[in-house]
């Protein structure tokens, strides 16, 4: 396992692979199995992963509850919890709405601490920008939690550089969480160079592009119930085969070049980025993490990055990003 640290905090020696627990929450992923989820979290810790990323919105509290159950008897200083704030499902229509008001953050932190069975959160991240709340109000509230010791680092997810610059006038930002993987590089040119320059750590989400980069899918793969991949444009018949072809070609290249698998490549590709980063690997069954064995002990060169890009460009003629995931703003 390789490690990183978060600048201007006491968070040292964080594994560069974190467990992502959205699917463990069940909703948007066709359901969950609590026992299996807890085994997955324990297996992650056994493998040396010491960062667990969750959010209240995942399963509407269920993911945080499962994480809380899994970690309750484990020494608290042996792992880091990254959770989020600002998606509100109280309207009861099945959707989550952006809500970064002071009132909502101060309520949500108490709910998260209770579900997680802990008295502090290591990395507390604003899940999505909220156009209806002044960034100043959100930032000052986050700073008050940092000053009170309830959280140890402030993060923002899905924020633009401009929004980050405004936030930083009122509170520090230690981490950013954008979607980022071999197929989704929208944040390559602006956010990530900015974050590097500011010594922020990047927590990359969708590291294996919702399973696409696992190498286990075929163009005929089907997803159950409310699984978000049923709505994800990459997984629809007009684009899915081209992505599958790219995965096959990338898999062949990395096998021949390094004797590694495509899933190891997907994670290595993130860890070798020129910024302190952590790849969030979403898993809900213990064995899904076993491929972590292939992640360490090798490095991608600049030439490799170019080769990977040319393979993707050869097969994916109509690339599409993860924008379909963006939750709605509230209406006043
Ligand atoms: P991901 O990590 O790209 O993909 C996760 C899915 O890939 C798993 O649920 C699993 O799907 C499949 N998978 C994992 N390991 C596999 C293996 N060895 N073989 C075959 N399939 C495998 O996507 P993600 O979970 O969306 O992203 C990672 C984490 O980032 C999330 O869990 C969450 O913590 C965070 N995230 C944050 C945001 C945000 O707005 N901040 C948004 C999205 C995600 P199956 O179980 O169905 O096979």
End-to-end distance of the chain based on CA atoms, in angstroms?
47
Q: Cβ(48)–Cβ(15) under 8 Å?
A: yes
What does each C-alpha distance from 61 to 55, 67, 103, 114, 290 come to in angstroms?
8, 10, 18, 10, 27
**DSSP type of residue 284:** S
Q: Whose CA is nearest to atom 27 of ligand 1?
A: 206
Q: Whose CA is nearest to atom 26 of ligand 1?
A: 206
Query: pTM (2 decimals)?
Result: 0.98
**What gap in Å lies between CA 23 and CA 58, rounded to an integer?**
8
Instruction: Indicate if ligand 1 lies below 6 Å from the C-beta of 262.
Output: no
**Catalytic (active site) residue 243:** no
pLDDT at 127: 98
Q: Count of residues for the chain?
A: 332
**DSSP type of residue 61:** T
Ligand 1 centroid, distance to 207 Cα (angstroms): 7
The pLDDT tens digits of the residues spanning 249-285 come to: 999 999 999 999 999 999 999 999 999 899 999 999 9
Ligand 1 centroid, distance to 276 Cα (angstroms): 21
Instruction: Indicate if ligand 1 lies below 6 Å from the C-beta of 282.
Output: yes
In the block, tokens 């460009």 appear at: 313
Residue 69 has pLDDT above 90, yes or no: yes
Kindly indicate the confidence band of residue 332, based on its pLDDT and cuts at 50, 70 and 90. low
**What gap in Å lies between CA 272 and CA 305, rounded to an integer?**
10
Mapped onto helix, strand or coil, the DSSP state of residue 126 is strand
**What gap in Å lies between CA 195 and CA 300, rounded to an integer?**
21
Q: Whose CA is nearest to atom 22 of ligand 1?
A: 211
pLDDT at 331: 78
The pLDDT tens digits of the residues spanning 169-217 come to: 999 999 999 999 999 999 999 999 999 999 999 999 999 999 999 999 9
Ligand 1 centroid, distance to 170 Cα (angstroms): 33
Give DSSP secondary structure letters for 172-189: ---EEE-B-BTTB-TTTT
CB within 8 Å of 320: residues ≥ 6 apart: 233, 234, 239
What does each C-alpha distance from 329 to 60, 183, 203, 302 come to in angstroms?
17, 27, 24, 40
**What gap in Å lies between CA 84 and CA 67, rounded to an integer?**
14
Instruction: Indicate if ligand 1 lies below 6 Å from the C-beta of 130.
Output: no
Instruction: Indicate if ligand 1 lies below 6 Å from the C-beta of 288.
Output: yes
Cβ neighbours, 10 Å, residue 332: 4
Ligand 1 centroid, distance to 208 Cα (angstroms): 7
Among 164, 68, 169, smallest CA distance to 125 is for: 164
The pLDDT tens digits of the residues spanning 151-175 come to: 999 999 999 999 999 999 999 999 9
Kindly indicate the confidence band of residue 100, based on its pLDDT and cuts at 50, 70 and 90. very high
**What gap in Å lies between CA 3 and CA 66, rounded to an integer?**
25
Q: Cβ(121)–Cβ(149) under 8 Å?
A: no
Q: Which two tokens stand for residue 276?
A: 């302190």
The pLDDT tens digits of the residues spanning 274-325 come to: 998 999 999 999 999 999 999 999 999 999 999 999 999 999 999 999 999 9
The pLDDT tens digits of the residues spanning 72-91 come to: 999 999 999 999 999 999 99
């Amino acid at each position: 396992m390789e490690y990183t640290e978060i600048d201007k905090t006491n968070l040292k020696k964080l594994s560069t692979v974190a467990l992502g627990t959205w699917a463990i929450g069940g909703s948007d992923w066709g359901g969950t199995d609590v026992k299996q989820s807890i085994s997955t979290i324990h297996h992650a810790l056994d493998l040396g992963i010491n960062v667990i990323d969750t959010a209240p919105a995942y399963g509407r509290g269920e993911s945080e509850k499962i994480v809380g159950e899994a970690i309750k008897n484990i020494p608290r200083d042996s792992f880091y919890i990254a959770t989020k704030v600002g998606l509100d499902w109280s309207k009861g229509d099945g959707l989550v709405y952006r809500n970064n008001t002071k009132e909502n953050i101060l309520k949500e932190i108490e709910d998260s601490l209770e579900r997680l069975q802990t008295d502090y959160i290591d990395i507390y991240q604003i899940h999505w920008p909220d156009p209806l709340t002044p960034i100043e109000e959100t930032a000052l509230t986050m700073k008050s939690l940092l000053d009170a010791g309830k959280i140890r680092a402030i993060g923002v997810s899905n924020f633009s550089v401009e929004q980050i610059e405004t936030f930083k006038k009122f509170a520090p930002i230690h981490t950013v969480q954008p979607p980022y993987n071999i197929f989704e590089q929208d944040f390559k040119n602006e956010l990530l160079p900015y974050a590097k320059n500011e010594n922020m750590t990047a927590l990359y989400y969708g590291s294996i592009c919702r399973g696409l980069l696992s190498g286990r899918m075929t163009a005929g793969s089907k997803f159950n119930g409310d699984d978000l991949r049923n709505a994800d444009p990459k997984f629809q018949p007009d684009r899915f085969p081209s992505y599958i072809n790219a995965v096959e070609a990338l898999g062949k290249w990395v096998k021949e070049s390094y004797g590694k698998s495509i899933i190891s490549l997907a994670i290595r590709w993130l860890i070798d980025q020129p910024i302190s980063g952590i790849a969030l690997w979403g898993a809900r069954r213990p064995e899904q993490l076993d491929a972590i064995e292939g992640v360490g002990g090798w490095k991608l060169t600049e030439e490799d990055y170019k080769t990977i890009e040319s393979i993707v460009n050869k097969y994916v003629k109509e690339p599409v990003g993860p924008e379909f995931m963006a939750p709605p703003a509230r209406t006043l």
